[in-house]
Amino acid sequence: MSAEVASKELNPSREDFAALLAESLAKDDLFEGSVVKGKIVGIEKDMAIIDVGLKMEGRVAMKEFGIGGKPGDLKVGDTVEVYLERVENALGEAVLSRDKARREESWTRLERLYEKGEKVTGVIFNKVKGGFTVDLDGAVAFLPGSQVDIRPVRDIGPLMHQPQPFQILKMDRRRGNIVVSRRSVLEESRAEQRTEIVARLAEGQIIDGLVKNITDYGAFIDLGGIDGLLHVTDMAWRRVNHPSEILNVGDTVKVQIIRINPETQRISLGMKQLQSDPWSSIEAKYPVGARVKGAVTNIADYGAFVELEPGVEGLIHVSEMSWTKKNTHPGKIVSTSQQVEVQVLEVDPQKRRISLGLKQTQENPWDGFLTAHPKGSVVEGPIRNITEFGLFIGLDNGIDGMVHLSDLDWQKPGDEVIKDYKKGDNVKAVVLDVDGAKERISLGIKQLAGDPADAMAKYKKGDAVTCTVTSVSDAGIEVKIADSELTSFVKRGDLSRDRSEQRPERFNVGDKVDAAVVSVDKAARRIAVSIKALELAEEKQAVAQYGSSDSGASLGDIFKAAIKKREGAEDGE
């Protein structure tokens, strides 16, 4: 052994002593950061003096040994477990902690429970940002606000400082982090309770319940530990706009279990099922064609619903509301709660539908029009609309009659004649046909002048007629046959037998001209006349009567003789 080593053993330094002590403590399982057992050797005021062995003592505040830290809780000679933070401080004492010892014990126990998935007991003792802190017998855990209860809790007071079960969601010993949940414990307990209650219930069973909550679509009924949904459509046979019309929170109601879903444990309830179905004898009570009274309960764009009795509603479609108001919103014809008389149009018990008609209880204006204006009568009214196929004329009681293009004029094309009319003009027309079922009235304007075919009956091809010029154009002249309403158009080539005289401008409106009928088309109601044809016919007749050009008389002489004879006959008359 060297002199240096011998000197260290006889005169050890402070560092050497600490190293030797640490080695000795390690041999007896006493090391910093461990939980050790010690004996209380004295109590001074609020501090307990604890001997942890090897002549080491430390001090621990009495409050760390229990709530309140009362000296009477411990006495000299008691054995306690403490956490050895440091072997020796500046005063030569061991640094001990009962809180840390309890926390270490707690962590070890909690980790074991966490691995097994078991619940732990704790006390909520403080509120922090985002939730609360929970004392798990020495270890502090965080309880998020969303994990306090199944539903949001407004007042946490009753839950504070009360021992209660929790479920550990997450543990991290290195970071000293524990997250717990009270909600999961309640949900598990609730699920067990629900399963037990559902097992006692059966579909079709009638049970009393308490209205717990009301929503727009129904009400939740407490059946004694489990909730069931009473949908708004199952509250009554009649239309229910909102559950609050029938129920209030806190009401006790009798309901029937309609369905139980064993997987989701959802229960559907009904109240109307406890009453007789009014649709069971609906066909006998409301036969087609019957007139009944009811109240308007709801108005939509497509029609109005009418309650005939509690639980039985029918629909008046917008097309069955008025004979004449076709594009009017139902709300402008009827109002909610209004009492109306309707006629049953159709009944479908399977689909639980009744079609009603409001206009059927009123006189059909088309039938009334036919009574007042039989076929052939003349009516008068303003032009309400002009379309590509005719005119619509306003008549009595807000109904319209239509004049088709083909009924505007006997001879002229309708698409040309219609240009002469404008909206608002007051016109007369003849009633041609009335169809009350199809709500149609056919009118005619050309019929006011009579059928030209009747006037054409007295004319035949070759007849000489006197006409009055009504208009002149480059293509010819339009004329009206005397003593009739018949008109005809004489083309330029038919104005004279002489080409030099085939000039329309030599005629004036109002001139009298003689012409010959060249064609009569009764089907088309057209008569054609020609001045040239009459001149040729007269020439032929004169030649036959007064001689021919071969006898030596000129054509001019023959015409002069014929004209002189005709003038003499007219003078004699």
CA dist., res. 345 & res. 364, Å (int): 16
Residue 68: pLDDT over 50: no
Choose the weakest-confidence range: 13-22, 124-133, 480-489. 13-22
Residue 236: pLDDT over 70: yes
Percent of the chain with pLDDT strictly greater than 90: 36
pLDDT digits (tens, 9 = 90+) for 309-338: 888 999 999 999 988 887 889 999 999 999
Q: Which two tokens stand for residue 213?
A: 């909550």
Taking residues 43-58, report their average pLDDT.
75
User: Which pLDDT belongs to residue 25?
Assistant: 45
pLDDT digits (tens, 9 = 90+) for 457-468: 888 999 999 999
12 — pLDDT class (breaks 50, 70, 90): low
User: Which pLDDT belongs to residue 458?
Assistant: 85
pLDDT digits (tens, 9 = 90+) for 74-100: 777 777 777 676 666 555 667 676 667
Residue 573: pLDDT over 80: no
Q: What's the mean pLDDT when you consider all of the chain?
A: 82
End-to-end Cα separation, the chain, in angstroms? 188
Higher confidence at residue 80 or residue 183? Answer: 183
Residue 25 phi, psi dihedral angles, 5° rounding:
-65, -40
CA dist., res. 251 & res. 271, Å (int): 13
Taking residues 448-474, report their average pLDDT.
87
Which superfamily, per CATH, for 24-101?
Nucleic acid-binding proteins (2.40.50.140)
CATH class as words, domain 201-274: mainly beta
Residue 434: pLDDT over 70: yes
Q: 443 pairs with which residues across the strands? A: 403, 431
Residue 208: pLDDT over 80: yes
Q: To which H or E segment does residue 494 belong?
A: none
154 — pLDDT class (breaks 50, 70, 90): confident
CATH of 365-449, one of 3.40.50.300, 3.60.21.10, 1.10.10.10, 2.40.50.140: 2.40.50.140
Let me know if domain 286-361 sits in CATH 3.20.20.70: no
**Burial of 419: CB neighbours in 10 Å, binned 0-12, 13-18, 19+:** exposed
Q: At what angle do helices 555-572 and 531-546 cross, to 10 degrees?
A: 100
CA dist., res. 132 & res. 129, Å (int): 8
Please check whether the two domains, 119-187 and 286-361, share a CATH topology: yes
The sign of the CA dihedral 163, 167, 172, 177 is: negative
What does the domain layout of the chain look like in residue ranges?
24-101, 119-187, 201-274, 286-361, 365-449, 452-558
492 — pLDDT class (breaks 50, 70, 90): very high
3-state secondary structure 501-558: HCCHHHCCCCCEEEEEEEEEECCCCEEEEEHHHHHHHHHHHHHHHHCCHHHCCCHHHH
The answer to whether the CB of 266 falls within 8 A of the CB of 230 is: no
Higher confidence at residue 155 or residue 551? Answer: 155
User: Which pLDDT belongs to residue 548?
Assistant: 53
Fold classification of 452-558 is: OB fold (Dihydrolipoamide Acetyltransferase, E2P) (2.40.50)
Residue 498: pLDDT over 60: yes
Residue 70: pLDDT over 50: no
Residue 410 phi, psi dihedral angles, 5° rounding:
-70, -35
Fold classification of 119-187 is: OB fold (Dihydrolipoamide Acetyltransferase, E2P) (2.40.50)
3-state secondary structure of 411: coil
Residue 550 phi, psi dihedral angles, 5° rounding:
-75, -20
User: Which pLDDT belongs to residue 568?
Assistant: 57
